[in-house]
Amino acid sequence: MVDAFGFLAAFISVVGWGSYLVPMKKLQNYDTFYFQALMATGILLSSLVIVLIVGEFRLSLLGLLCGFLWKTGNAISLVAVKKDGISMAVPVWTSTSIVTSFLWGLFFFKENFSSLLLGVFGISLLVVGTNVVSLTGSNREKSKTGVLLALPAGVFFGSYLVPMKISGLEPNQFLFSMALSIFVTGWSFFLAKGAKLSRSALLNGLGSGVVWNVSNFSSLYAIALLGLSIGLPLTQDSLLVAVLWGLFYFKEVKRNRGKAQVLVGALVMIVGTFLLGFSK
């Protein structure tokens, strides 16, 4: 029964993290800094609801740092998606974040691996898959700016939970602090840029934030019930959901050969995530 709940939590996380950018892509004209500020609002509001339910209210400086790191990565990632689309940008930052977190665990936290060779092989597959996706022939007209921006976004995404691991506190105890920091950082970016408010993006932005936060909370349960070696790689399958949205709903890649190339690259990356997880 525990495993069943763990797989259900992972499934919710996969679908949500693979879909939370869809409301943004459905907008015709939007400012990414305003959208990410709305996302931050949705994350804070949904976190307050979760805190009231689970009763884990706590303010932590390291939790605030977690939120700042994630929000910075998110601001960069939204620009990447606007530049080159979901099917191009998401695979790049997903693989980069997994490699980054792997390196943190190996060199900084000195985590033990049952097979370091298997982990290295998994990383190699991630790199290969990323190149297959980002070099899709039918997307050569793209600026590639989004792909380049997705790299630093992935570094932030792969590092944002490092403060939590340093603290030794439970993930639930970071939820409100992280959400509060995301909210403050998101609106600070917005005010610094001087972007304008827009009613058309209101519901989409709030909805994206809620979906992301529910998925984030679900991922914590997946990891707690299934363990890091199973739960974490499973949640990274959100990449495939994001790619499918980009290919078949938004028609970001027109030719069948390009679609096949993106799908093959994404599948190679997913195999890499599983190998990386089982290397622990």
The pLDDT value recorded for residue 123 is 82
Residues 141-196 have pLDDT tens digits of: 456 788 889 999 999 988 887 887 788 777 777 789 999 999 999 999 889 887 67
Residues 139-148 have pLDDT tens digits of: 444 567 888 8
Of 2, 9, 7, nearest to 221 by C-alpha is 9
Q: Which domain holds residue 206?
A: 2-278
Distance CA 51, CA 62 (A): 18
The count of structural domains within the chain is 1
Q: What tokens does 275 get?
A: 């190998």
Number of neighbouring beta carbons within 10 Å of residue 169? 16
pTM greater than the 0.75 cutoff? yes
DSSP symbol at 195: P
Alpha-carbon dihedral sign for residues 146, 243, 100, 187: positive
1 — pLDDT class (breaks 50, 70, 90): low
Q: Rounded to an integer, what is the distance from CA 246 to the centroid of its chain?
A: 16
Q: Do residues 82 and 27 make contact, with C-beta atoms less than 8 angstroms apart?
A: no
